[in-house]
Amino acid sequence: MQKNFNGKLVKEWVIERCIYLSGIASIIFVGLIFIFLAKEGFSLFKTVSVSDFLLGQKWYPISTPAQFGILPLIVGSLYVTLGATIIAVPIGIASAVYIAEVAPVKTREILKSGIEVLAAIPSVVLGFIGMMTLVPWVKNTFHLPTGLTAFSGALMLAFMAMPTIVSIAEDALNAVPKRYKEAALALGATRWQAIWRVIFPAASSGILAAVMLGIGRVIGETMAVMMITGNAARIPNSLFEPVRTLTATVAAEMGETVRGSDHYFALFAIGIVLFIITFFINLIADLAVHRKLK
Amino acid sequence: MNPIIQTRNLNLFYGTFQALHDISIDIESKMITSIIGPSGCGKSTLLRVFNRMNDLLEDVKVEGGVFIDAKNIYEPGVDLVELRKKVGMVFQRPNPFPLSVAENVLFSVKIHRTAAFKEYGDILEQSLRAVDLWDILKDKLKTSALNLTLEQQQRLCIARLLPVKPDILLMDEPCSALDPIATAHIEELMDQLKVNYTIVIVTHNMQQAARVSDRSAYLYLGDLIEYDSTEKMFTIPKDRRTEEYLAGKFG
């Protein structure tokens, strides 16, 4: 009896430790990744100043002397991200409202699974499809010398951000208690007034979180952007010119650098910049969600 | 007698289930009428016929006539917005919008555009005074309605109905989420309101029906068993089933 009891205690202890270790592991891994990133990235600033790096207009990593100004890359990422956000956010929120509040039950189920499928398409596949269909279309429609532009990238990324935005915003709208809608309708509100004046404000923090996570997805996206934005590391004058994003730069050049060279460190420094940007976006999303819980 | 709501041979079906059987009832103006009966007898269903809230459910069929001010509200082409301005509803659980106190009260005015911006202050004060909330809330008009006590929330829900000047207030067990003291306050309020409004209240609390209502209707399994002045019904019920229910033999 006594032995059996001890056995149970040991088993409990082992299980508890295992769960603890798995929990702590994710934190340790993130910590290690960040330390590595910081160690490699900050080495660049021994030779290049932070302002030359962030505000420099020329990204010539393999010329002599090499220049590591990432402003064109930041602007490229900004153009593509802003463009994708402007396209994806209104459409994404509108379709979330449609699915959550307007669509008949059957249509709702079909649309929801459709959106899940859209989220499951690998980005390289979307990039390839974009290259074959979207790029020529942009070239011909806007009479451009090339269809590989920031606009094409924004359009493509809008597709990728949409499933995130729609499904999270839809959850937020569904979480609004039905009694608010009932109250609004009983006061003589039309369905649209009930949505716009009551349900939407009640779900606003969840919708904001959806938008931020969608933007996070866009900024971090690499493959599709690399395939269709043209990869010209210069500051574009408009959305209809080729650009190169931060992510695409790292992905395209990492294979060709010499380990320990300035170029190599510069790519890691870009990684830090990306890390900081996504960190803040996730932070805003997180704050929005927690404000809702209060 | 001056009936404001009349139903004639009203039948209501949820799919194949018949929830209301052949109900004909005249509800008098400027009085409190209570609808009582055991759970599932169709009380709330009948109440929701009067502002057509049953329309929100799928697969509901209504037969027969329902007249408000002698106009059939189930005729094709009836304006639901106008109907619901005229017939306000208070729900079982207080359901103020997650907006400020002021926005709750002014909600109907804003969506129906029945008043100019400069009248908002007066409307706010009148509506909140009518439910005795003005003195408590006049400095807190901007706070979220969700911070109020349940009783205050339910009062606010009543105040929210008043700016569009309804004739009828439907109350679906308005006190079931409240404690006895708050219940007494809401009952007092109903008594004040009946000077200006016709009130129809659904309650499973017989004492409440006896205290507040002028007339009572007893529903059982979708049938209107008895409808009379509350005093008569509670002292000398005509039907044996009413008597048994009032005596607490089943509930």
Ordered domains of chain B (ranges, CATH)? 3-246 (3.40.50.300)
Which tokens go with B162?
A: 């008043």
Ranges of chain A whose pLDDT falls below 70: 1-5, 291-294
Residue B57: partners with Cβ closer than 8 Å, 6 or more residues away:
B14
How deeply is B147 buried, as exposed, middle or buried, from its count of CB atoms within 10 A (0-12, 13-18, 19+)? exposed
ipTM score = 0.88
Asked if residues B125 and B71 have their Cβ atoms less than 8 Å apart, the reply is no
pLDDT value at residue A293: 47
Contact B152, B186 (CB under 8 A): no
Stretch (H or E) spanning B183 = helix B180-193
From the list B192, B187, B137, B127, the residue with the least C-alpha distance to B161 is B127
* Domain A59-293 class, CATH top level: mainly alpha
Euclidean distance between CA atoms B221 and B239, whole angstroms: 15
Q: What angle do CA A159, A161, A167 make, to 5 degrees?
A: 105
**Closest to A275 measured CA to CA, from A10, A30, A19:** A30
Contacts of B112 in chain A (CB under 8 A): 188
Tell me the pLDDT tens digit for each residue of B152-182: 999 999 999 999 889 999 999 999 888 898 8
Q: Identify all chain A residues contacting B95, using CB atoms and an 8 Å cutoff.
A: 177, 179-180, 182-183
d(CA B10, CA B190): 28
- The distance from CA A157 to its chain's CA centroid, rounded to whole angstroms, is 9
Examine the pLDDT at B199 and tell me if it is beyond 80: yes
Backbone angles phi, psi at A142, to 5 degrees: -100, 10
Both tokens assigned to A144: 């451009």
The mean pLDDT value of chain B amounts to 91
Domain definitions of chain A by residue range: 2-46, 59-293
Q: Are B91 and A202 a contacting pair at CB < 8 A?
A: no
- CB < 8 Å to A198, chain B: 97, 99
**What HEC string does B108-162 produce?**
HHHHHCCCCHHHHHHHHHHHHHHCCCHHHHCCCCCCEHHHCCHHHHHHHHHHCCH
Rounded to 5 degrees, what are φ and ψ at B198? Answer: -90, 130
Q: Please report which residue ranges of chain A form alpha helices under DSSP H.
A: 2-42, 50-55, 71-97, 105-120, 123-129, 135-141, 150-174, 178-186, 191-194, 200-202, 204-220, 223-228, 246-253, 262-293
Across the interface, of A182, A197, A198, the residue whose CB is closest to B91 is A182
Angstrom CA distances, A97 to A91, A196, A257, stand at 10, 10, 48
Q: Is A168 exposed, middle or buried (0-12, 13-18, 19+ CB in 10 A)?
A: buried
Average the pLDDT over B34-62 and give the result.
90
Q: Please tell me the distance in Å from B91's CA to the nearest CA on chain A.
A: 8
Q: Which residues of B touch A183 (CB under 8 A)?
A: 91, 95-97, 157, 160
Judging contacts by C-beta atoms under 8 Å, the chain A residues touching residue B164 are 187-188
And the tokens for A221? 């996206």
pLDDT for residue A28: 94
What's the pLDDT at A65?
A: 86
Q: How far is CA B27 from CA B7, B34, B191, B228, B241, in A?
A: 9, 10, 17, 10, 22
CA neighbor of B239 nearest in space, from B225, B223, B224, B222? B225
Q: Which residue of B has its CA nearest to A178?
A: B95
Determine the 3-state secondary structure of B230 from DSSP.
helix
Q: Among B120, B130, B126, which residue's Cα sits nearest to residue B190?
A: B130
Q: What percent of chain B has pLDDT over 70?
A: 99
| B82, B89, B95, B127, best to mutate vs chain A, most A CBs in 10 Å | B95
Spatial separation of the C-alpha atoms in residues A63 and A54, rounded to whole Å: 19
Q: Strand B223-229 and strand B215-220: pairing?
A: antiparallel
What b-and-e string marks burial along A35-73, b requiring 16 or more CB atoms within 10 Å of the CB? eebeebbebbeeebeeebbeebebbebeeeebbbbbbbb
Shortest CA distance from A182: residue in chain B: B53
Residues of B in contact with A189 (CB under 8 A): 81, 107-108, 111
Q: In the predicted model, is pLDDT for residue B251 greater than 70?
A: no
- CB contact (8 A) between residue A188 and residue B164: yes
Chain A residues within 8 Å of chain B (Cβ atoms): 177, 179-180, 182-190, 193, 197-198, 201-202
Q: Which residue of B has its CA nearest to A198?
A: B97
* Strand-strand pairing, B87-90 and B168-172: parallel
Nearest Cα residue in chain A from B163: A187
Residue A181 neighbours by CB under 8 Å, 6+ apart? A101, A194, A198, A199
Check CB contact of B98 with chain A, cutoff 8 Å: yes
